[in-house]
Amino acid sequence: MTKKITDLLRSINILESVGELNTEINMLHFDSRKVATGDFFIAQVGTQSDGHDFIPKAIDQGAKAILCQHLPEDINPKVIYIKVENTSKALSALAHNYYDCPSNNLKLVGVTGTNGKTTIASLLYELFRKLGYKVGLLSTVTNFIDTKEVKATHTTPDAIQISKLLSEMVEEGCEYCFMEVSSHAVDQHRTGALNFKGGIFTNLTHDHLDYHKTFDAYLRAKKGFFDQLGKTSFAITNADDKNGKIILQNTKAHKFTYSTRAFADFRAQILEKHFNGMQLEIDGLELWTNFIGDFNAHNLLAVYSAARLLDQSKEEVLMKMSELNSVAGRFESIISPNGIMAIVDYAHTPDALKNVLLTIDQLRTRNETVITVVGAGGDRDKTKRPLMGKVSAEYSDKVILTSDNPRSENPDTIITEMREGVSANNLKKVLAITDRKEAIRTAIMLAKKDDIILVAGKGHEDYQEINGVKHHFDDKEIINEIFNQ
Ligand SMILES: CC(=O)N[C@H]1[C@@H](OP(=O)(O)OP(=O)(O)OC[C@H]2O[C@@H](n3ccc(=O)[nH]c3=O)[C@H](O)[C@@H]2O)O[C@H](CO)[C@@H](O)[C@@H]1O[C@H](C)C(=O)N[C@@H](C)C(=O)N[C@H](CCC(=O)O)C(=O)O
Ligand SMILES: Nc1ncnc2c1ncn2[C@@H]1O[C@H](COP(=O)(O)OP(=O)(O)OP(=O)(O)O)[C@@H](O)[C@H]1O
Ligand SMILES: N[C@H](CCC[C@H](N)C(=O)O)C(=O)O
Ligand SMILES: [Mg+2]
C-alpha cells in the first residue's frame, strides 16, 4: 500500500520540512531495523535509546522520508525530512491517517485503570457478540478481529499496530471495538489520535512506579486518556474508587458513574456469593453471574454501564450477561481427584492479590488451609514486591514465594524483596522455592482434601521469561499434570 505524505500529515503541526511532501511512501516504521526501500521512518525518543540516532541506518536501508524532532546535521538530498514537536504524538495521527482513520468507522471504547481492564474489555467483546454484532478486541491476553485471533504482544499495541488492527476490523464489518488502554500507552501517545466513543475507568492502585516514578504521575497518565475524549463521547468512572472523580475532572465527555456502595448513575448490589457465582441486582433487576469476588461485581457493572450507553436494551444485556464466563487466567479453578481446589489468577499487584485472597476468605468455611504460590515480575516495579509479600502472608495460612517472570533479574533477589514485606509473626508461614513448578508441586503436596491453593501472578500466560528467553510455562497445565500424577 502506498500513501502520499501530504495525506498522512493531516492534522499534524509541521514545524519545518525539507523536500517534496507530495511524494508517495510505502510503509510506516518507528524501528530502523524494519525499514525497507521507500518507507517512512519515525524517529522517537524512547526509554532506552533515541530513534534519531538511527536515522542514518534507516536511510541506508532505503527510507524515503523521516519524521523527527530535530533535523540531522547531514541532510541527504534524496530524502524528505519533516520536523514536528513530538514524533510519538504525530505517529499516532500518521498511523491513523495511513489506515484511513478506522476509529471514525467503529464505536471504539477504551478501558483503563490498574486492574480489571482485560476482564471488562473481554466481557464487552463477548457480550456484544452475543447481542449479534461483529466486534473487535485489543487486550493483554489476545486480540480479535471478529472471530479471527491475532496474538497480543502488549496490553495496548503500538500506534501503527493499533490502527492496522482497527482497519482490519472495519474491513471485516465490525461495528464495535473494545480495547485496553495501559498507562504506558497513554504516556507514549499510542492512542492519541484515536476517536473513542467512550472510556471506562476501573481503579487506581499501586503498579508500574518503575516507569511513572510517582503515583501522581501514574494518575496523570491515566487521566490523560479521559482528557483526550471528545464532547460526544461518554466517560464512565468507578465512584467507589478514591480517584474515580479526579480522573474525569477535565474531560469534555459526558460523565457517568457506577457504584456498589453509593449513589451513582449505574448501581449494583451483591445479593449472594458462592464459589461458582454471585447473584447480583443491577439497575433494579436480579441476575445470576458465573463470577465471584466483589471486584467482579464492579467489572460487570462497568460492562453493563457501557452496554447501556451504547444503546443496548436493559433486559437483553442482563440476560446475556448471565451467560458470560470468566476470562482466561482470571480466578480459574481446577479441582483435583482428591478434592483440592487450585485457583489460577493473574493478580500481579498488591491490590489484586488482596482482592482475590479476600474473596477466597469470604467463601471458605475455615476448616481448610489456604496456600498461596506467588512471585513478582523482574524488570518491573520493585516497590510492589514487599507489599505483595505482606498481603500474601496476611491473608493465607501458608505462602510459597517463587518466581514469576524474572526477566533479566536474579529470581532469588526478587523473592528476598517480597519476603522483606512479611511481618515477623507471619514469617513462619512463608517458604521460598525459586523453581515455580517445584513451588506448585510443593503446595499440592502440602494440601489435603478441601484445601485451597492460589497460584497467582501469571494467569493466562503460557511462558516464563528468563534472561530474554520465553520458556513454555503454563500454571494451569502444570497443576493439571501434578493433580493427575
Ligand atoms: C517501557 C516501554 O513501554 N517500552 C516500549 C517502548 O520502547 P522504548 O521506549 O524503550 O524504545 P527504545 O528501545 O528506547 O528505542 C527508542 C526508539 O528507537 C527505535 N530503535 C531502537 C533500536 C534500533 O536499532 N533502531 C530503532 O529505530 C525504537 O523502535 C524506538 O522507536 O516502545 C516500544 C515500541 O512501541 C515497545 O515495544 C516497548 O515496550 C516494551 C517491550 C515493554 O516491555 N513495555 C511494557 C512495559 C508495556 O508497555 N506494558 C504495557 C502494559 C502494562 C499493563 O498491562 O498494565 C502495555 O501496554 O503492554
Ligand atoms: N476491578 C478489579 N479491581 C481489583 N482487582 C481486580 C479487578 N478485576 C480484576 N482484578 C484482579 O486483577 C487481576 C488482573 O485482572 P485483569 O487482567 O482484568 O486486569 P488488567 O487491568 O487487564 O491488568 P494488566 O495491567 O496486566 O493488563 C485479576 O486476575 C484479579 O486478580
Ligand atoms: N502488564 C503487566 C503484566 C505483569 C504480569 C506478571 N506476570 C509479570 O510478568 O510481571 C506488566 O507488564 O507489568
Ligand atoms: Mg490487561
Distance from C-alpha of 26 to C-alpha of 481, rounded to nearest angstrom? 49
Q: Which residues fall inside 5 Å of ion ligand 4, going by CB?
A: 117-118, 140, 155, 180
In contact, 253 and 234? CB cutoff 8 Å: yes
Distance from C-alpha of 208 to C-alpha of 14, rounded to nearest angstrom? 33
Does residue 115's CB lie within 6 angstroms of at least one atom of ligand 2?
yes
- Mind listing the pLDDT tens digit for each residue in 191-245? 999 999 999 999 998 888 889 899 898 899 999 999 999 999 999 999 999 999 9
ipTM, two decimals, is 0.96
Q: Does domain 100-321 have CATH number 3.40.1190.10?
A: yes
Distance from C-alpha of 288 to C-alpha of 241, rounded to nearest angstrom? 25
Query: Counting ligands in written order, which one lies closest to the CA of residue 139?
Result: 4
Distance from C-alpha of 106 to C-alpha of 108, rounded to nearest angstrom? 6
Pocket residues: Cβ below 6 A from ligand 3: 140, 155, 348, 377, 380, 404-405, 457-458, 461
Distance from C-alpha of 64 to C-alpha of 78, rounded to nearest angstrom? 7
Q: Tell how far the Cα of 154 is from the centroid of ligand 2, in angstroms.
A: 15
Q: At the top level of CATH, which class does the domain 3-97 belong to?
A: alpha beta
Q: Tell how far the Cα of 209 is from the centroid of ligand 4, in angstroms.
A: 17
pLDDT, position 275: 83
Count Cβ atoms below 10 Å from residue 205 Cβ, excluding itself.
Answer: 21
User: Is 46 annotated for ligand binding?
Assistant: no
Does residue 326's CB lie within 6 angstroms of at least one atom of ligand 1?
no
- Mind listing the pLDDT tens digit for each residue in 278-337? 999 999 999 999 998 899 999 999 999 999 999 999 999 999 999 999 899 999 999 999
Distance of CA 315 to CAs 284, 318, 388, Å? 11, 5, 40
Q: Which atom of ligand 3 is nearest to the CA of 465?
A: 9
Spell out the residues 6+ positions from residue 254 whose beta carbon is closer than 8 angstroms to its own.
Answer: 231, 233, 234, 235
What is the residue with the minimal CA distance to atom 7 of ligand 3?
A: 458
How many residues make up the chain in this entry? Answer: 485
User: What pTM, to 2 d.p., does this model score?
Assistant: 0.94
CATH architecture of 332-483: Alpha-Beta Complex (3.90)
Q: Tell how far the Cα of 93 is from the centroid of ligand 3, in angstroms.
A: 28
Could you tell me the residue ranges of all domains in the chain? 3-97, 100-321, 332-483
Three-state secondary-structure class, residue 172: coil
Distance from C-alpha of 201 to C-alpha of 302, rounded to nearest angstrom? 8
Distance from C-alpha of 156 to C-alpha of 138, rounded to nearest angstrom? 7
pLDDT, position 366: 83
Count Cβ atoms below 10 Å from residue 31 Cβ, excluding itself.
Answer: 14
Q: Greatest CA separation found in the chain?
A: 78
User: Is 190 annotated for ligand binding?
Assistant: yes
What is the residue with the minimal CA distance to atom 26 of ligand 1?
A: 31
Query: Counting ligands in written order, which one lies closest to the CA of residue 160?
Result: 1
Among 55, 141, 154, 209, say which to mutate for ligand 1: greatest number of ligand atoms within 8 Å of CB.
154
Taking Cα atoms as reference points, which of 322, 302, 301, 304 lies closest to residue 312?
A: 304
Measured in degrees and rounded to the nearest 5, phi and psi for residue 196 equal: -90, 135
User: Is 202 annotated for ligand binding?
Assistant: no
Distance from C-alpha of 386 to C-alpha of 224, rounded to nearest angstrom? 29
What residues of the chain score a pLDDT lower than 50? none
Q: Tell how far the Cα of 35 is from the centroid of ligand 3, in angstroms.
A: 30
